[in-house]
Chain A
C-alpha cells in the first residue's frame, strides 16, 4: 500500500511541474484505471496467442512463464503498472500527448460507457472464482439445500421472496448455476476476442506495410488476395474454415482472425501510402535510413490511429462471431462455459425457460456494445479533424 501512496503523492506534485493542462485527480484515477484495463487486456491477448502457438513447446513455455505469472496476479500488477505509466507520462514531454488523448477520450460519453462495460467484463473474468456463487461446471442435483425440479429452474433470489437457495439467473439444463457460468464465460469471450484481433492486426499490418511500402507487383499480389478474402461473407468463410479444421475454440479463434486480416491490411496500406509521401519520410530516406527503420520509426507510429479504432471495433465483432460459431456448434465445446454455446443449448427451451437464452445473449450484447462504444469514442478522441468542430 505504501508504494501506491507515494505514487499518488508524486502524482500530485508532478501535476504542478508538468507542461500539460492539469488533470483533476478524479479524472486521473479514471485514466489510471483505463490504462490498467488496457494492460490487462494486452496481457490476456499475449498469453492466448502464445498458448495458440503451442503451450507444450519448451521455448514458448519459457517465454510465456513471466506473462503467466503476471496473469495470475492480474489487477494487482496492472494497477501499479498503470500508475507508473501515468506518472512517467506526466513527466515526459513526448508522452504527455498520450495523457491528453486519454483525457479527451474520457470526456466522451460513449467512451465512458464502453470503459465501464469492458471494465465490468474484465473484472468479472479475472475475479470469476470470487464473484461466481457456484462451481460453473458442477450440477446442483444432489447438492445440499437444493429443492424442487432443478434442470432449467428459473431465477431464484431470496431477497425477492424466493424460499429456495440463491440462483441469480436460475439453473441451466444440466442444473448448473447460470450466473456462475456466465461469469466464467467472460474469460473465454475476452480471450478469443482480444487474441483474434491481435493475431489479425499482426499479420494484417505486416502485409499492409509490405504492400504499401514496396508497391508494384508485391502490392498487387497481396492486395488482390485480400480482395478475394473480402469477397466472402466473413462468417461463412469462418464457418468453412472451422468445419474443415474441426470444431473447437482454438480453431474458431484462428478462423475469425484469418477472415479479418484483409480489413487491417487495407487500412494499414492506405495509411502507409498517405504517410510515405510526407516530406519527413523523404528527408529520412535522403539521410540514408534503411527501409526497415523508415517503416518502424516513421511510418508505423503514424498509422496507429485508424488501427486502434478498428481494433476496438474488431474485438466486438470477434466476440459476436465467436458466439455465432459456438451457437452453430463450431466454437467452444461443452462443458467449457461460453455464452454462444450456452445460448445454443437453451434454444429449444426458449418457450418454457427463456432465462436460458436471455442472460447469455444479454451478456454478449453488452460486451459487444462496450467495445463498439469504446471504438466510437476512440475515433472521436483520436481524429484531430473531428476535434476542430
Chain B
C-alpha cells in the first residue's frame, strides 16, 4: 500500500509542474505591459520597477519561471488590484465559503443520487427507471446558474409565506454574526491574532457551529446553503445516479449475486450487501472527477446567491480584468483538483486490492 501511495504521489509531481508551467505561460501572454496589466492602469513607474524586480521580469525566461515557482511555493500569488492585497489572503478568507458549498452539494448529490441509481437499476426498464433516467438527462443539461435563479425564484418568491420558504441570498441572516470557535476555545486572543488556518476553519460555518455547539448558527447556515447546494449538486447528482445505475445493473447480472439469491438470502441483503457494495467502487472515481464541475458550478452559482466565495471573487476579478486574481484562483483549484484525484486514487486502491496490486 505504501509503495502504491508513493508511486501515485511521484506521478502527480510532473502534472503539478505542468500546471505551474501553463499558468506561467498564460500569465506571460497577457497583452501589453505586464505591470500595467497586473497592477492596473494607474501604476506609477516606481511601482512598476519594483514589480518587475520582484517577478524578475528583466531576467531570462527560464529564471522567470523559477522565480514564479519559488513565489508560488512560498504562497505568494501576487497582488489583487481589484481587492487591494495579496491574492493568498483573499483565498484564505474566501475559499472556505466555496469549499463548504461544494461539500454540501456533493453530499446532496451522493445521498440522493446513489439511492436513485440503485432503485432505477433494481426496477430496470420500469416506469420509475424511465422517469429517473429522463430526470438525470435533464439534470445534466441544465445550466447551473439558471437552476439557481429558478430555485431562488420558487423558494424565495412563490413560496414566500409558506413553511417551505428559503432565503434566496446570503450565507447567514442579515446582521447576524457568530463568534468564531478559536475565540470561544481561547486559541487566539482576537480575530487579528488568529493564524490563517484558524481563520480558514472558522469560516466554514457548519464546522464552526458544531465546534461552538451553536444550534442557531447551524440551522441558519443550513437554510441558506440548501438552495445553492441543490443548484450546484444537480449535475453531479445526475451523473452519480446514471453511473450507479449502470454499475449496479452490471453487478446484478453476475454469478455471485445469483449464488446469494440461491442461498435464500433476503432481497435486501442480496441487493445492498452483495451487489451495491461492489457496484459503488466506480462511483467513487466519478465523484472525484466531478470536483472540477463542482468548482465550476460554485463559480457560477455564488454570484446568484450572494456568497462571498472564490466564485464571486473570481467573477468580480474578471469584470475588473484582475489577472493575478484569475491566475491565482485557477492555479489553486487546479492543484486542489490534482490532490483530490490523488486521494480518490489512493482510496480506490484501498477499496479494491486489484488496483493497488496491479
Contacts and interface: CB of A to CB of B under 8 A. Distances in A.
Interface of A: 110, 224-225, 227-229, 231-237, 239-241, 243-246, 316, 320, 323-324, 327-330, 340, 343, 347, 350-351, 354, 357-358, 360-361, 364-366, 368-369, 372-373, 376
Given A244-B30, A328-B318, A343-B145, A233 B19 contact: no
B337 interface: yes
Contacts of B293: 233
A224 B153 CA distance: 45
Contact of A369 (B137, B150, B295, B315): B137
B330 A364 contact: no
Nearest to B22: A228
B95 interface: no
Interface stretch (B178-186, B212-220, B296-304): B296-304
Pairs A-B, 7 closest by C-beta atoms = A361-B146, A228-B18, A233-B292, A235-B296, A368-B141, A369-B141, A232-B334
Contact of B318 (A330, A350, A361): A330
Interface stretch (B41-49, B52-60, B319-327, B343-351): B319-327
A383 to B, nearest CB: 13
A351 B334 contact: no
Interface in B7-32: 14-15, 18-19, 21-23, 26, 29-31
A246 B338 contact: no
Contact of B300 (A232, A327, A368): A327
A329 B317 CA distance: 12
A240 B18 contact: no
A13 B295 CA distance: 58
B159 interface: no
A365 B143 contact: yes
B204 interface: no
Contact of B149 (A320, A324, A357, A366): A357
Contacts of B150: 354, 357-358, 361
A229 B22 contact: yes
User: Chain B contact residues (Cβ within 8 angstroms of A): what range?
Assistant: 35 or more
A234 B19 contact: no
Given A233-B296, A347-B304, A240 B143 contact: no
A357 B329 contact: no
18 contacts: A224-B18, A229-B22, A232-B337, A233-B296, A234-B296, A239-B299, A239-B314, A243-B318, A324-B145, A328-B300, A330-B318, A343-B149, A354-B153, A357-B150, A357-B153, A360-B146, A368-B143, A372-B140
Contact of A240 (B137, B140, B292, B326): B326
B106 interface: no
B110 interface: no
Given A228-B21, A361-B146, 5 more contacts: A232-B337, A233-B292, A343-B145, A365-B141, A365-B143
B138 interface: yes
B146 A241 contact: no
A231 B334 contact: yes
Contact of A351 (B146, B153, B300, B326): B153
Nearest to B23: A240
B31 A233 contact: no
A373 B134 CA distance: 10
Interface string B333-345: 1100110000000
Contact of B143 (A225, A354, A361): A361
A364 B141 CA distance: 8
B149 A350 contact: yes
Nearest to A246: B31
B156 interface: yes
Interface of B: 14-15, 18-19, 21-23, 26, 29-31, 137-138, 140-147, 149-150, 152-153, 156-157, 168, 291-293, 295-296, 299-300, 304, 314-315, 318-319, 321, 323, 326-327, 329-330, 333-334, 337-338
Contacts of B152: 350-351
B146 A365 contact: yes
A161 B293 CA distance: 44
B140 A231 contact: no
Contacts of A244: 26, 29-31, 323
Contacts of A369: 137-138, 141
B298 to A, nearest CB: 10
B157 A351 contact: yes
**Residue with the highest number of chain A CB atoms closer than 10 Å, among B31, B152, B293, B318:** B318
A329 B296 contact: no
B257 to A, nearest CB: 17
Given A231-B338, A235-B299, A324-B143, A225 B333 contact: no
Nearest to A344: B145
B149 A243 contact: no
Contacts of B300: 235, 324, 327-328
Contacts of B329: 236
A236 B333 contact: yes
A233 B140 contact: no
Contacts of A365: 138, 141-143, 146
A236 B330 contact: yes
A260 to B, nearest CB: 13
B31 A239 contact: no
B137 A236 contact: no
Contacts of A330: 318
A224 B337 CA distance: 16
Contacts of B296: 233-236, 324
Nearest to A340: B143
A349 to B, nearest CB: 10
The interface centre, meaning the residue of B141, B292, B319, B333 with most chain A CB atoms within 10 A of its CB, is: B141
Contact of A236 (B168, B295, B304): B295
B18 A227 contact: yes
Nearest to B291: A233
A372 B152 CA distance: 27
Contacts of A324: 143-145, 296, 300
Contacts of A351: 152-153, 156-157, 168
Contacts of A376: 137
A126 B319 CA distance: 33
B347 to A, nearest CB: 18
